[in-house]
Structure 1
Amino acid sequence: MSTLLPISELLSYRMHRVANAISRSAATRYRRDFDVSLGEWRTLALLGEESPLTLNRLAARAGLDKAQMSRVVAKLDERGLLVRASGAGRSTQLSLSRKGRSVYQGLIEAANERNEAFLVCLNPAEREALDSALDKLGTLAKALESQRSL
């Protein structure tokens, strides 16, 4: 029988800690520079990447439940950062307004600067290994999630 690892050495816990630290520093910057929360930033970024999206699709892409995404969308809508349009059936298509695209542009530039600041500590081989490892871990995690086995 192998020795059981303490939580501090488990891969999922270590990745969670790193991701949270990165997210907390991002949240601070995005709140200060753009007056958006982390959830609002992710929503703007997803709509900036692909638009229009329904609320359900946007929630799935962001990893939030529909109620959480609905609250984020309502806040962005109040600020004039979104445009709602009727879609097929009763669905509503969401996209960025002109003001939203402007905020998105500043946010995505800041996010790319932050991304490069984190990657600078890795050499090209380490970056490639990290990308490969994250792809493999993501694929396995999705497969396990769909099996509901772990």
Structure 2
Amino acid sequence: MTPTQRPCQYQLPQRLLRAREAVMSYFRPVLSRHGLSEQQWRVLRLLAEHGDMEAGDIAQRAGIHPPSLSGILIRMERDGLVYRNRAQNDNRRLIVSSSQRAMTLTQSIIPLSNDCYRRIEAHFSPAKLQALLALLDELENLPAPS
């Protein structure tokens, strides 16, 4: 192996994916019990935090590709979780709102989600978690490749 080559276990994308899977193993059972996918939960959390949002903003903040979000929102509307409406002043903008059912569901899941975070902190430590989050913020803000 040359000095510039690294074994697969040291490659950043794969390590980040494995870390994500380890974290999500805490949350998936909670979401599954409530009939939600990870993506649906991200949408509901954002709407709970910000109120009505444009679909494009949801896609960007939730890390969901816009074409995928479109299908997710259609299913969420069918299931009575969200409303989708065109903006009155610009028909190109899609505004997404939580239903009362979604707000109630979100309020019941938030304490369970917080418990998942506490369990992760218990294994990882609050200080390490804060350091990791700071490093991830830096990583997210890398300049675009030229």
Q: In the aligned structure 2, how far is the partner of 1:130 from the partner of 1:7?
A: 22
Quote the residue 1:102 is aligned against.
104
Unaligned runs of 5+ in 2: none
Q: How many Å apart are 1:25 and its aligned residue?
A: 4.3
CA displacement 1:28-57 (0-9 Å, x = unmatched)? 33112x111111111111111112112222
SS at match of 1:121: helix
Equivalent-residue separation in structure 2 for 1:25 and 1:37 (angstroms) = 14
Q: Quickly say closer, same or farther: Cα 1:97–1:124, change in 2 above 3 A.
A: closer
Which structure is higher in RCO with an 8 Å CA cutoff and minimum separation 6?
A: 2
Q: Distance in 1 between matches of 2:21 and 2:113?
A: 15
Change (3 A) 1:123 1:57: closer
Q: Which amino acid aligns with 2:132?
A: L
Q: Does 93-102 or 116-125 show the bigger shift?
A: 116-125
Which residue matches 1:6? 7
Q: Is the Cα–Cα contact under 8 Å of residues 47 and 98 in structure 2 kept in the other structure?
A: yes
What is the count of residue pairs matched by the alignment? Answer: 143
**With structure 2 as the length reference, what TM-score do the two structures score?**
0.84
Uncovered stretches (5+) of structure 1, i.e. residues with no partner:
none
Alignment of 1:1-150 (within 5 A): 2=3, 4-32=5-33, 34-87=34-87, 88-90=89-91, 91-140=93-142, 143=143, 146-147=144-145, 149=146
Gap change, CA 1:46 and 1:127, over 3 Å in 2: same
- Structure 1 outlier segments of 4+, above 4 Å: none
Q: Which amino acid aligns with 2:119?
A: A
Q: CA RMSD in A?
A: 2.0
Specify whether residues 78 and 115 from structure 1 end up closer, same or farther in structure 2 by C-alpha distance, changes over 3 A only.
Answer: same
Task: Confirm or deny: 8 A CA contact 1:41 1:107 kept in the other structure.
Answer: no
Give the fraction of aligned pairs with identical amino acids, expressed as a percent: 25
Superposed displacement of residue 77, structure 1: 0.6
